[in-house]
Structure 1
Amino acid sequence: MGLAKRRKAMGYSQEKFAHALSVDRTTVGRWERGETTPDAVQRPRMAELLQLDLAELDVLLTPPQADFQASSASLSGDRHGSGEIDDMIRREFLRLLAVTGALTALSPDEAEAMAEAAEGGSIDDFHRMNGHLWQVYQLARSKRSVTAVVQDQLSALSDALKAGSSRQAGALCEAAGDLFQLAGELAFDGNRYTDAAAAYTLAASAGSEARAFDLWACALVRHAYVGLYAKRFAEAAEILDVARRVAARGDSSLSTRYWVASVQAEAYAGLPDLTACERALDEAEGVADLPGLIHNGGWLRFDGSRLAEERGARYVQLGRLDLAEATLSSVLESGALAKGLSFRRRGAVLTDLAAIGAKRRDVEQVVAYGGEALRLAQQSGSGYVAHRLQALQVELGSLGQDRRVAELNAEIGVLCMT
């Protein structure tokens, strides 16, 4: 069943469906014709309206594989259609694990003979390339542009493992676990949450095989994010509890365990459990006591610099608007004094304060903070702030037909289209 059939089966006209999602009717038409796909922020509400979970919605919105890959290749000339990345991840990693098991069973002489025949790059080369790919990914406007190189790098890793020695297998698995996390991020950015979960699962398996506890724990955290996005908070909390135990066996000088705690706070806020949420946030604050380099800028980037904003966002999530407003206002004030808030972070805080106003039906607060966030997004070109503003549109629907709110809503719509 396609999107249009499902919409009709649930009793929605295109116009009513569009209104419920705060988009134009023509946008729904483009989704139904397969010309575009809904943004990540629109999917939870869409799934709710269609009475589907996010995985089922993902399937509903995904064109047939062969047709999609053919059209993708013809439009872009790119042999790496976005539908191929999930198959590549599964195929290459299953081969990688199978070869690892075989290598560990070989005698030392046999393993060394295979190592001498290896023609791939060194393990250090793989780690350097992975680090470069993470940097490119973070800076790229189009995340999909990284996909082809990730696929090539993973293929090279698999070939190197096949030809390597048993002593190299663990280090190569560690490099693969790094790369699978990046592949998962690419899938998540492309709104393919089932594929992202598969990639993170494989990354965790690679980290486990290498006994790289911090890498392993970070893969589990990313997997939990898929559950958090789908509002499966109890499921995410279970994964995060395992991540916490794995991280406890990792490098105590790294920020891994504190990142786990900060994400646990989000799961607890969704359950909702204020006490557990605040306990997790307090634990995450311990990152400030770590000396030296506490992350690697790739699969581990947590430095605690955004914990104050995170605390405010969790209070919004819990409906504790008094605590949320006090926390977020303090962040804005301290950031202005120290000039320590980037456009991205300031925009996120302003959007959360506008959302608080919407929940209170305080039009003045919505227009003041939402308008400032909109101007920041327009000036900076920040897609992240635009994404947060798009999420705010759902809250704006509760304010009826107020002219200023309607104008703000329309301007956000224009921003997101451009």
Structure 2
Amino acid sequence: MDLLTTWTGSSAAALRQAFRYTQIEFARHLGVAPRTIANWDTTPTLVPGTNQQRILDTALRMAPGEVQARFRLLNSTAGISAPSFVPAPRDQELDDMNRRELLRLFSMAGVAIAAPPWDDELDVQRVLHAGRTGRVDHAGVDQFEVLNSHLWRVFVLAPSKAKIYPLVQDHLAVLVRTLQHPNGPEFRQRLCALTADLFQLAGEIFFDGDQYTDAAHCYTLAATAGKEADAFDLWACAMTRHAYIGVYERRFDKAEPMLDLALRLARRGDSSLCTRHWIAAVQAETWAGLGNLNACQQALDQAELVRDLKGPVHNGGWLRFDGDRLAEERGTCYVTLRRPDLAERVLTEALAQELSERRRGGVLIDLAALGLQRGNRDQVVSYGDRAVELARQTGSKFIARRLRGLQDQMKPILGDQRVGVLNANISSLITSAA
């Protein structure tokens, strides 16, 4: 099948641009003509197909060479060798090895962030004059920033987030190693900000893989590095991500005070950014979990104010909130609050929008849960079946986890044959995913 008919349009162009490949390079690695890539870049529609995963996998296999090339650009300024690529974990032994490496980076980063390797400016000058490796200049740090941004874009595009973890780990190792060397206060502040940024990305990868303890460690170090960088928005976002683990685990009483602290930090940050509004959206979920409708609605209204901001309100990396998900998030809150009268219209409108497969799966499951609350078994089965099919097609762990939560809620009506079949299909899906 012609790849042009299986994956065309802006998503293909976004993938190529995220990896910063020319049309010719992308064509060569994918085995298609350069004119095909040019057509992808200009075709406005996305045509899903069975080869979509193959194309992305091919691009991800190209990624190590891209990282190697970027680090080679740094050699002349930073004295840093390109890291070796480690394949994505495929068994328990590699999982354990990667986790040990992560813990090693935790230990080293904690010291490097908290204890600068110089006593005074004279010591800095002496060490730099001696030509110690690890020194970076503006161009070197700029390249670090480019690579951070590159990795976030790959993370957003990749259906399997774990695939990019080896790249993130390699770059984290370089940042931590660079922090151990004296580079002066200005560069150290920028390096701390980049470290905070990348630890948040590592945390997102672990969170997506249900490794919440490792994710929490990453967010803790990200918060510490953000503090050292004097970057209040970055610090607040790390706190918010950490708090969201509590929201996801329905430990709302633990999340609420963390979000309050994150909001205090955000108020000291850049008022043109959406940080405060994103925190409000997460607070709304927390208040919904705590059963406080008024506080939930007030938080949602605060989050909606993101639409009043002008200019670029996020950076597409550690800060990505723009309010486009607020309809479905509002619906989720109302389902949690067991207010089907408020949730039905919001979720139906959200489902009519252009949504990613992951987001569509979440809305379908919320609508199925709404059927449970109303005693409408037809609605439960209809939306539940659609969510199961979507999970099978995409292999999304997120949709599978949400379906597992729906399964728990269905226990009182498992005597219904149709609900029993849906329950069995969810069990089969979860087993396959595991």
Class of the TM-score when normalised by the shorter of the 2 chains: 0.7 to 0.9
The alpha-carbon deviation at position 207 of structure 1 amounts to: 0.5
Q: Does the alignment pair 1:93 with 2:106?
A: no
1:111-122 to structure 2, matched below 5 A, reads: 111-115=124-128, 116-119=131-134, 122=140
Q: CA RMSD in A?
A: 2.4
**Would you say 1:412 and 2:429 are equivalent positions?**
no
Question: Deviation per CA, 1:255-277, whole angstroms, max 9, x where unpaired?
Answer: 11110000011111111211111
Distance 1:148 1:272, change over 3 A: same
Secondary structure at the counterpart of residue 81 of structure 1: helix
Contact 1:185/1:196 (8 A) holds in 2: yes
Structure 2 Cα separation of the partners of residues 407 and 376 of structure 1:
17
Change (3 A) 1:284 1:85: farther
Q: Structure 2-normalised TM-score?
A: 0.72
Task: Look up the match of 2:67.
Answer: none
Moved more, 349-358 or 73-82: 73-82
Seen in structure 2, the aligned counterparts of structure 1 residues 176 and 328 have a Cα distance that, compared at 3 Å, is: same
Partner residue of 2:285?
A: 266
User: Could you tell me how far 1:186 is from its partner in structure 2?
Assistant: 2.8
Structure 1 counterpart of 2:410, one-letter code: L
Query: What TM-score, normalized by structure 1, do the two folds share?
Result: 0.75
CA distance in 1, matches of 2:411, 2:252: 25
Match of 2:417 in 1: 403
Q: Structure 2 vs 1, CA of residues 92 and 145 (structure 1 numbering), >3 Å: closer, same or farther?
A: farther
Q: What pairs up with 1:108-257 in 2 under 5 angstroms?
A: 109-115=122-128, 116-119=131-134, 122-163=140-181, 164-257=183-276
**Counterpart residue identity of residue 416, structure 2:** D
Mapped contact 2:196–2:224 kept (Cα < 8 A): yes
Determine the C-alpha separation between the residues in 1 that align with 2:417 and 2:426.
14
Q: CA separation in 2, counterparts of 1:197 and 1:314?
A: 24
Of 307, 310, 314, 2:333 maps to: 314
Does structure 2 conserve the Cα–Cα contact (< 8 Å) formed by 1:227 and 1:235? Answer: yes
The alignment of Structure 1 onto Structure 2 pairs a total of residues equal to: 339
**CA 1:413–1:73 in 2, change beyond 3 Å: closer, same or farther?**
closer
Give the percent of matched residue pairs that are identical in Structure 1 and Structure 2. 47
- Note if contact 1:120-1:159 (Cα within 8 Å) is conserved in structure 2: no
CA deviation profile, 1:302-324 (whole Å, cap 9, x unmatched): 11100010011001111112111
Structure 1 SS opposite 2:312: coil
Q: Tell me the equivalent position of 1:341.
A: 355
| Amino acid in the other structure paired with 1:117 | R
Matched AA of 2:165: T
Gaps of 5+ in 1: 1-71
Which residue identity does 2:238 align to in structure 1?
Answer: A
Indicate how the Cα distance of structure 1 residues 76 and 386 shifts in structure 2: closer, same or farther if over 3 A, else same.
Answer: closer
Could you tell me how far apart the structure 2 residues matched to 1:207 and 1:301 are? 17
Q: Deviations over 1:378-411 (max 9, x none)?
A: 4455443333223221122221221111112222
Closer/same/farther in 2, CA of residues 381 and 77 from structure 1, 3 Å limit: closer
Alignment of 1:74-85 (within 5 A): 75=91, 78=94, 81-85=97-101
CA distance in 2, matches of 1:180, 1:82: 15
Q: Corresponding residue for 2:404?
A: 390
Do 1:85 and 1:147's aligned partners in 2 also have CA atoms closer than 8 Å? no
1:73 is displaced (CA, Å) by 8.4
Larger deviation, residues 253-262 vs 226-235: 226-235
Q: Alpha-carbon deviation of 1:177?
A: 0.5
Aligned residue type for 1:268: W
| Letter of the 1:111 counterpart | V
Native 8 Å contact 2:285 2:333 kept in 1: yes
| Equivalence map 1:320-399=2 (5 Å) | 320-333=339-352, 335=353, 340-399=354-413
Partner letter of residue 313 of structure 1? T
* CA gap 1:159/1:113 in 2 versus in 1, 3 angstroms: farther
AA aligned opposite 1:161: L
